[in-house]
Amino acid sequence: MYLSEIEGIEIKKDGYFENFGKLGRIYLENSISFIHSEKYLPDIDQNISCIVCNEELLPFFLGKDIGIVVSKEPKNTFYEIYYTIYSEGRLNYFDNKISDSATISPKATIASSGVIIGDNCVIADNVVIREGTILENNVHIGNNCVLGSDGYEVAKIYGHSKIVPHTGYCILKDNVEILNNCCVCKGLFRGYDTIIEENVKIDNIVQIAHAVKIGKNTEIGAGAVISGNTIIGENVWIGPNVTLSNKIKVGNNAFVSLGAVLINDINDGERVAGNFAYDTKKFMNEFKMKKSKE
């Protein structure tokens, strides 16, 4: 759509956009984004077709082939544009496609659109599957899980703080198994999808936030919290009650011990423990020394 189709914004130059994104993470062409500081100018790339900026940054964009909206609060205006388009039903999903071989409890709730359920999937009692959820084949979902929920993104929209409705996807690949009372959020925007790869196993009461990526054969223990935009590699062990901060990366074959609070990236094969988490051997040696002095 074009900026000129939206009421209530100050347009310096009209432009066309199809998608939304945040600077430094613009994944799709023809995206609109926002900028409020010159330190983010290096993140402007070819995928951005429209920008919301303040007066101070306007001169940088005037000579570019890009649509421009000027605002004293670029972030707020960006989310108001998004919320307006969402409310008008312009970000709807596709028709449902559910395999005849899927086993779905009559107590489950499936959205009326935007859901794909593949062959031999099993959906247990009281599961809620929201728009934008794609289950490939042989996916098993336990009781009381919610798939494709909105994640936690709060923005000021028309003067009020609101949890921003999500329009991305929640994708579970073949042979994913999730036990009971878990929540897997979908991505905030298209292209910011939550993706759980093949053969991942997830225990009870696990929270997986928006735009998380989990690699093949990873196992996640009960009570774990995986914050938004975190990337977990393949063959990883995430212990019970682990908390992973947002935007961190966990390498392949890593091991995160139970109860750990992880706030930094960890490398392939690394083992960490503690709050805040660090190398397991160092943690255990320090723990033993402390106990020996008691």
| CA distance linking residue 146 with residue 183, whole number of Å | 5
**Smallest Cα–Cα separation from 173: which of 150, 149, 195, 140?**
195
Can you give the pLDDT at residue 276?
81
The pLDDT of residue 213 is 98
Confidence of residue 294 (pLDDT cuts 50, 70, 90): low
Q: What is the pLDDT of residues 113-140, one digit of tens each?
A: 999 999 999 999 999 999 999 999 999 9
pLDDT, tens digit (0-9, with 9 covering 90-100), for 143-196: 999 999 999 999 999 999 999 999 999 999 999 999 999 999 999 999 999 999
- The catalytic residues are 210
Name the average pLDDT for the chain. 96
Provide the pLDDT for residue 107: 98
Is pLDDT at 291 greater than 70 in this prediction?
no
pTM: 0.92
Q: What is the pLDDT of residue 57?
A: 97
DSSP letter string, 221-279 = -TT-EE-TT-EE-SS-EE-TT-EE-TT-EE-TT-EE-TT-EE-S-B-TT-EEETBTTEE
- Please tell me whether the peptide bond between 276 and the residue prior to it is cis, using omega within 30 degrees of 0: yes
Question: Where do the DSSP E strands lie in 74-145?
Answer: 97-98, 103-104, 109-110, 115-117, 122-123, 128-129, 133-135, 140-141
Q: Give residue-wise pLDDT tens across range 6-61.
A: 999 999 999 999 999 999 999 999 999 999 999 999 999 999 999 999 999 999 99
Query: Per-domain residue ranges for the chain?
Result: 3-87, 97-283
- The CATH number for 97-283, chosen from 2.40.50.140, 2.160.10.10, 3.40.50.410, 1.10.3720.10, is 2.160.10.10
How far apart are alpha carbons 175 and 94 in whole angstroms? Answer: 24
Cβ atoms 32, 52 nearer than 8 A: yes
Q: Quote the pLDDT of residue 288.
A: 76
Share of the chain above pLDDT 90, in %: 93
Is residue 286 predicted with pLDDT exceeding 90? no
Q: Which residue has tokens 């809620």?
A: 128
H/E segment holding residue 156: strand 154-157
Q: Which CATH class is domain 3-87?
A: alpha beta
Radius of gyration over every alpha carbon of the chain, rounded to an integer in angstroms: 22
